[in-house]
Amino acid sequence: VQLVESGGGSVQAGGSLRLFCEVSGAPYTKICVAWARQVPGKEREGVAAIRTGGGAKYYSDSVKDRFTISEDNAKITVYLQIHSLKPEDTAVYYCAADWQMNCGNWRELDRFTYWGQGTQVTVS
């Protein structure tokens, strides 16, 4: 199983970014995929999750008005659209996947077995 994030970059406050998470090698099409972010010295924070295959979407209260999670049904690619970027959104953004968990427990990041390498988002 491999997760590859992309789409990060340096943007000005108020701008937008779309992050991509490509999942390959999963044995099922309906899995739980989450986006999390981490700032050096702080714990990783879950921001959104989706059960692929048209399932439920979940958001952290702190980002639900600006972040949108979506998927490409043809392949397991999960997107995170971020609007109105703020400097405090600066972090490494990771995606994570698992299929042996209740996606409703997505905030418990330790439940995710597979992680990508992360993509840096810098907002100035």
Q: What is the pLDDT of residues 11-57, one digit of tens each?
A: 999 999 999 999 999 999 999 999 999 999 999 999 999 999 999 99
Phi, psi of 103 (to 5 degrees): -60, -20
Strands (E), 25-99: 32-38, 45-51, 57-59, 67-72, 77-82, 91-98
What is the identity of the amino acid at 57? K
Q: Give the single-character DSSP code of 7.
A: -
The whole-angstrom separation of Cα 94 and Cα 115 is 7
Per DSSP, the three-state class of 122 is: strand
Q: What percent of the chain has pLDDT over 90?
A: 98
- Cβ-based neighbour number of residue 20 at 10 Å: 16
Q: Is the dihedral of CA 55, 113, 95, 39 positive or negative?
A: positive
Question: What pLDDT score does 75 carry?
Answer: 83
Q: Is the pLDDT of residue 73 over 80?
A: no
CB of 76 within 8 A of CB of 22? yes
Confidence of residue 74 (pLDDT cuts 50, 70, 90): confident
Query: Which pLDDT band holds residue 85 (cuts at 50, 70, 90)?
Result: very high
Quote the mean pLDDT of the chain. 96
Please give the pLDDT value at position 122: 98
